[in-house]
């Protein structure tokens, strides 16, 4: 798989995706092309059972848009938005647990990208996180207006976006925007260990949980319950469900295969 601004490897069933678009990991068309390839690779590789999104750019997870491209807006640039939304949605809906290891500033599109992950971990004192587009007279356009309220609630999301707040890792943890804060030195290893342990779980069940949660959030409570009933009917006959029950009754540790 040929990539230009993202480094990719699989280790212990975890897909490690390291953004490498120096200096700030701008979400350029080149990034989008690489990201689409990686999503397709993960979706079509059964051996991959978790994904870790990180950065190789010191001080930055991602600063979002390349502001130089915004000087001359044209229809071609605007036409990229549906492709960005499609890629973000596809990553969010991957049938495996996903984790963002935020090692620096995650602003604008950078935070919007992190919001597609199931877990967000951040290094302490490593930078700021937020959607500051309003300070440029603009709005978040990579899904932030929809995903941020789902994560932190409408009131806090409105405050962050209206004021263009850029908050610290500790403040982000307090409002539930990130799950946990680690030392900068431990961030990647702790995040990888979390991904590795999730990869050993019943990932088929995890996929169904994700689908039910997303259905309820996007289509409403009753649709979510309907999806839950369908998912349970399918899941209860899965090999992992049989293994889980048998292991519990036998007093042993289950060995899940993700099917």
Ramachandran category for residue 24: left, alpha or beta (phi over 0 → left; psi -120 to 50 → alpha): alpha
Question: 3-class DSSP state for residue 61?
Answer: strand
Q: How far is CA 9 from the centre of its chain?
A: 17
- Which residues, at least 6 apart from 5, have a Cβ–Cβ distance to it below 8 Å? 19, 20, 21, 28, 30, 31, 34
Question: What would the two tokens of residue 197 be?
Answer: 């342990």
Nearest to 227 by CA among 242, 240, 241, 214: 214
**Cβ-contact 39, 68 below 8 angstroms:** no
Would you say how long the chain is, in residues? Answer: 259
Which residue among 12, 30, 133, 228 is the active-site one? 133
**Is there a catalytic annotation at residue 112?**
yes
H helices, E strands: number in the chain: 10, 10
- Among candidate residues 2, 112, 170, 226, the one labeled active-site is 112
Q: Kindly list the catalytic residues.
A: 112, 133
């Amino acid at each position: 798989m040929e990539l230009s601004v993202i480094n990719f490897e699989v280790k212990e069933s975890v897909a490690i995706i390291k953004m490498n678009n120096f200096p700030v990991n701008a979400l350029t068309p080149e990034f989008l092309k690489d990201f689409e390839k990686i999503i397709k690779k993960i979706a079509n590789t059964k051996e991959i059972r978790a994904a870790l999104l990180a950065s190789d750019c010191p001080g930055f997870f991602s600063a979002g848009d390349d502001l130089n491209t915004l000087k001359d807006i044209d229809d071609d640039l605007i036409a990229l938005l549906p492709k960005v939304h499609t890629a973000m949605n596809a990553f969010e809906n991957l049938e495996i647990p996903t984790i963002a290891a935020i090692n620096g500033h995650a602003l604008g599109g950078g935070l919007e990208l992190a919001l597609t992950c199931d877990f967000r971990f951040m290094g302490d004192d490593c930078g700021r996180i937020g959607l500051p587009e309003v300070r440029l007279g603009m709005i978040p356009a990579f899904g932030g207006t929809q995903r941020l309220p789902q994560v932190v609630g409408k009131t806090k999301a409105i405050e962050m976006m209206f004021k263009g707040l850029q908050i610290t890792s500790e403040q982000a943890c307090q409002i539930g925007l990130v799950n946990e804060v680690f030392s900068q030195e431990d961030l990647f290893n702790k995040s990888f260990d979390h991904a590795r342990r999730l990869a050993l779980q019943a990932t088929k069940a995890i996929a169904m949980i994700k689908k039910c949660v997303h259905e309820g959030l996007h289509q409403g409570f009753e649709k979510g319950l309907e999806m839950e009933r369908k998912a349970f009917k399918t899941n209860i006959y899965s090999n992992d469900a049989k293994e889980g029950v048998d292991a519990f009754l036998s007093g042993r540790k289950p060995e899940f295969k993700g099917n």
